[in-house]
Structure formats: structure tokens, C-alpha cells
């Protein structure tokens, strides 16, 4: 028996299975949507589901098939422009704000495009004797890229449906059952952490984006980290105490924004007959007071922190506290007498704003080649969020993950974690 050949076969078979599962999940997300639903684009920041399905396919066609297979024939040469998001090294892009105007190609054509590219990728892998590191890296990047877009698809569907006065439901019976709301919120405590020099960033041995590397040391001052996220009921108390009318709590840019937009509540909150409701993927629901507040801008998160005489954590404090939590959980599982403090809701509810600007780590190097435009070019004027959210595929989460958005944005599922000095 050739054990080396068997190992290579198992490696390729595992990659094929993972590729198929992740790609199929994207299609599953639109299983209950109509072609009209998949065409919606309610604002420039979001994209139609149809565009997400095509763009993630364009990624594999552009960065894998056309680079590794000389005989590969592109599905449609026009797609090079239509579904290029922001890769200037590839060429021109169709206007992001106008993606919803692309009635053609049809949803059926886009799904055909996915099948065409998937068949080509699987044929390529089945014929490959050995998957080189270069090929494995681009497939791994493509699959993680697809998972990012699966999260974005749900966020975008939610926003696109939210402007409809019928408050339509999004049905995803297999992957998004209706969540059972918490009946009460636990006491808010702050867990102390001592002064340390700590390692921050991802190890080279595991997959990570280039913006999570290289691992480096950071000096941390003593700080305290909230044991849980801020709940809807707590944020409602901030609103009822005049939080949106008091400039004392707000950064200057945030104060300018809420006055310009006349904002007095989080995105998706609606006051009907003196009762608060929240638009969700399951339609309009009574506001669940014990659930974490979500779809909050950085400005709102910062204002709430000032209201509480607290602050937002830095991204390094967040990673340090989260890593210690996992370590403590491991210790508790091996000791019935452990009294280690519990920090909850790190990844499963919402991305958490930090007080850290999105900047490169010391020694940052983008991915080689055109794919290197993936993260580095956005390192200006954005803030880092940490954790993960309800819409993030579970095997896409890691504690070193650096998400980033502009301070005024809230359509992504973002929330509030407090810290204190």
C-alpha cells in the first residue's frame, strides 16, 4: 500500500468536500428567495444576493482557474467587469452603488455560472496529483472569502427587506431557526486584567487574513473588561434619559451625523403605538429587552460608553480578554472548584466595536500578487470590530479576526462591549 498516495488522496478529497459544502451553503441561503428578492439593493453599502453569488464565483474563476489552467474558457468575458468588486489590478469594476440595476444576467444565469465554475474547479482538483501550497492557499482564501460573503448576504438581505413597509420575513429553515430570546439579563460586571506584554495576532500555521499577521508583542495597561454585551433594555434606558439629545456623550462627528440624519434610535428599531419593535430576519418582532443591542454605529457605541462612564476596549484588550476566557474555560472543565470569572457573548451575537483604528500590524505584508488588494488598501478611516456574529459561519470564527467598518455604518450586525481603565 502506498501510504503517501493515500495521504495525498485524502487531502484532496477533504478539500473537495469542504469546497462543495461551503459553496452549496451560499446557494442554500437563497433557497426561499425569489429572483426579485435576489435583485434588491436598498443602498450603496449593500449588494444584491445575486451579485454576491456571482462575485464569489468570479473569485475562483479569476484567481484559480484562469491562473492554473491554460485551457480554461471563461464563462462570460463581461463578468470580469460586472463582478469585480475592487481589484484594480484585475481591471475596471462596475459601479458598486448600481449593482441592483443589473437585471441581466438573470439569477438563473448566475446559478449556471456557479455550476460551470464549480465543475471546473472540481475537475481540476480531481486531476491534481498534488495540491501545491500556492493552489491550496488561494482555495483557502477563496473559501474564507465566500464565508465572508455568506455573512454579508444575510446582513444585506436584512437591510434590503427592512425598507419594505410590509416588513417581509426571510425564511431559511435549515440554517436560521427563530432564536429564543433571553428572559432576563445577567448582572454587568467588569473582569480585571493586569498589566502585561502580550502576543497579538495569528500564528502562521493556521489560516488567517494578512491583516491578522504578523504575530507581535503589545504592551497592555491594567484594564477591566465587561463580562457581557450591552442589552436592548440598557440601550433603551440611554435613549429615554436623553442620550440622543445630549452632546456631552458624543464625538463631534457622531453628533453631526445624528443631527444630520435626525436619528433617535438604533437602525431597525420602530416605535408603534408607544411600543418598541425591532425588524429582524423573521420580520418585525417586539423588542427583546434582554437580547444584546445590535446594528449600532461606532458613534452610538462610543456615546453609550461615555454615558456609562466607561469606554470601548482596544482591539488588543479584546483579543487578550477573549484568549484568557478560553483558557479559563479549559481550566474550569478540568476543575470542579474553579472560580475563574466568566466572560460571555464573545462571538455568537454581534461584532463588537473597539476603540482601535484599522491599521497594519508592525511588519504587515499583504498577500503576494493581485489578491493582495484584499485588506491592506482599506487601512484608513475605519475602526476595528472583534468577535463574530449570529450570521457568521461558525467555522469561520477565530479570536484574531479583525473586521473593519466606517464609524457611521450600522447595517452590519455590530454591538457594544464596554471596558474601563
CATH number at residue 188: 3.90.1580.10
- Same domain as 231, residue 202: yes
pLDDT in tens, 35-55: 999 999 999 999 999 999 999
Residue 197 reports pLDDT greater than 90: yes
Min mean pLDDT across 64-78, 277-291, 365-379 is at 365-379
**Alpha-carbon distance 388 to 296, whole Å?**
14
pLDDT for 98 beyond 60: yes
Domain-ending residue, one of 162, 197, 218? 162
Residue 198 lies in a domain: yes
Res 1: pLDDT: 34
CATH number of the domain encompassing residue 115: 1.20.120
Share of the chain above pLDDT 70, in %: 92
> Is residue 167 included in any domain, yes or no?
no
**CA–CA distance, 280 with 390 (Å, rounded to integer):** 12
Residue 57: predicted pLDDT = 98
Predicted confidence at residue 327, as pLDDT, reads 74
What is the pTM for the complete model shown?
Answer: 0.94
Query: What is the C-alpha radius of gyration for the chain, rounded to an integer number of angstroms?
Result: 23
Picking from 109, 132, 162, the residue at the C-terminal end of a domain is 162
Asked if pLDDT for residue 97 goes beyond 70, the answer is: yes
Q: E-strand spans in 210-281?
A: 216-220, 223-226, 269-272, 275-280
Q: How many of the other CB atoms lie within 10 Å of CB of 121?
A: 23
Predicted pLDDT at 184: 86
Give dist(CA 145, CA 242) in Å, integer: 41
Per the structure, the count of domains in the chain is 2
Q: Please check the confidence at residue 9 and state whether its pLDDT lies above 80.
A: no
Instruction: Render pLDDT for 342-401 as a digit per residue (tens, 0 to 9).
Output: 899 999 999 999 999 999 999 999 988 777 778 889 999 999 999 999 999 999 999 999
Band the pLDDT of 2: cuts 50, 70, 90. Answer: very low
One domain, residues 59 and 140: yes
Is the same domain home to 233 and 142?
Answer: no
Shared domain for 250 and 152, answered yes or no, is no
SS3 state of residue 374: helix
Whether residue 220 sits in one domain with residue 138: no
Residue ending a domain, choose from 100, 133, 162: 162
Mean pLDDT of the chain: 92
pLDDT of 297 higher than 90: yes
232 CB-near residues (< 8 Å, 6+ apart): 278, 287, 288, 289, 290, 291, 292, 293
Domain housing 282: 178-421
**Do residue 100 and residue 21 come from a single domain?**
yes
Q: Are residues 76 and 43 in the same domain?
A: yes
Q: How confident is the model at residue 203 (pLDDT cuts 50, 70, 90)?
A: confident
Amino acid at each position: 500500500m502506498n501510504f503517501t498516495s493515500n495521504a495525498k488522496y485524502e487531502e484532496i478529497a477533504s478539500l473537495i468536500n469542504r469546497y462543495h459544502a461551503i459553496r452549496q451553503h451560499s446557494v442554500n441561503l437563497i433557497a426561499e428567495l425569489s429572483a426579485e428578492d435576489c435583485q434588491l439593493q436598498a443602498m450603496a453599502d449593500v449588494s444584491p444576493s445575486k451579485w454576491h453569488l456571482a462575485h464569489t464565483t468570479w473569485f475562483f474563476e479569476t484567481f484559480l482557474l484562469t491562473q492554473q489552467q491554460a485551457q480554461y474558457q471563461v464563462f462570460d468575458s463581461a463578468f470580469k467587469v460586472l463582478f469585480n468588486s475592487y481589484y484594480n489590478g484585475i481591471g475596471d469594476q462596475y459601479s458598486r452603488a448600481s449593482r441592483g440595476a443589473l437585471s441581466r444576467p438573470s439569477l438563473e444565469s448566475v446559478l449556471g455560472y456557479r455550476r460551470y465554475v464549480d465543475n471546473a474547479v472540481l475537475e481540476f482538483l480531481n486531476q491534481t496529483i498534488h495540491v501545491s501550497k500556492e493552489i491550496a492557499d488561494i482555495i483557502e482564501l477563496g473559501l474564507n472569502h465566500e464565508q465572508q460573503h455568506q455573512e454579508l448576504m444575510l446582513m444585506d438581505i436584512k437591510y434590503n427587506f427592512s425598507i419594505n413597509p410590509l416588513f417581509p420575513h426571510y425564511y431559511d429553515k435549515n440554517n436560521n431557526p427563530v432564536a429564543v430570546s433571553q428572559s432576563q439579563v445577567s448582572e454587568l460586571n467588569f473582569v480585571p486584567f493586569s498589566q502585561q506584554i502580550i502576543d497579538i495576532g495569528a500564528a502562521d500555521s493556521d489560516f488567517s487574513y494578512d491583516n491578522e499577521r504578523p504575530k507581535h508583542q503589545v504592551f497592555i495597561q491594567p484594564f477591566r473588561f465587561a463580562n457581557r454585551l450591552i442589552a436592548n433594555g440598557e440601550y433603551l434606558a440611554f435613549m429615554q434619559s436623553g442620550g440622543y439629545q445630549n452632546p456631552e456623550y458624543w464625538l463631534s462627528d457622531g453628533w453631526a451625523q445624528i443631527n444630520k440624519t435626525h436619528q433617535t434610535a438604533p437602525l431597525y428599531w420602530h416605535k408603534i403605538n408607544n411600543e418598541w419593535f425591532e425588524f429582524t430576519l423573521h420580520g418585525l418582532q417586539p423588542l427583546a429587552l434582554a437580547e444584546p443591542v445590535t446594528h449600532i454605529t461606532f458613534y452610538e457605541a462610543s456615546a453609550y460608553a461615555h454615558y456609562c462612564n466607561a469606554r470601548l476596549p482596544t482591539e488588543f484588550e479584546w483579543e487578550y480578554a477573549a484568549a484568557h476566557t478560553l483558557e479559563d474555560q479549559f481550566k474550569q472543565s478540568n476543575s470542579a472548584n474553579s472560580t475563574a470569572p466568566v466572560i460571555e457573548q464573545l462571538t455568537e451575537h454581534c461584532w463588537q466595536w473597539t476603540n482601535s483604528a484599522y491599521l497594519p500590524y508592525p511588519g504587515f505584508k499583504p498577500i503576494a500578487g493581485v489578491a493582495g488588494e484584499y485588506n491592506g488598501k482599506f487601512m484608513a478611516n475605519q475602526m476595528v470590530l472583534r468577535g463574530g456574529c449570529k450570521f457568521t459561519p461558525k467555522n469561520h470564527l477565530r479570536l484574531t479576526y479583525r473586521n473593519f467598518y466606517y464609524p457611521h455604518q450600522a447595517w452590519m450586525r455590530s454591538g457594544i462591549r464596554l471596558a474601563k481603565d
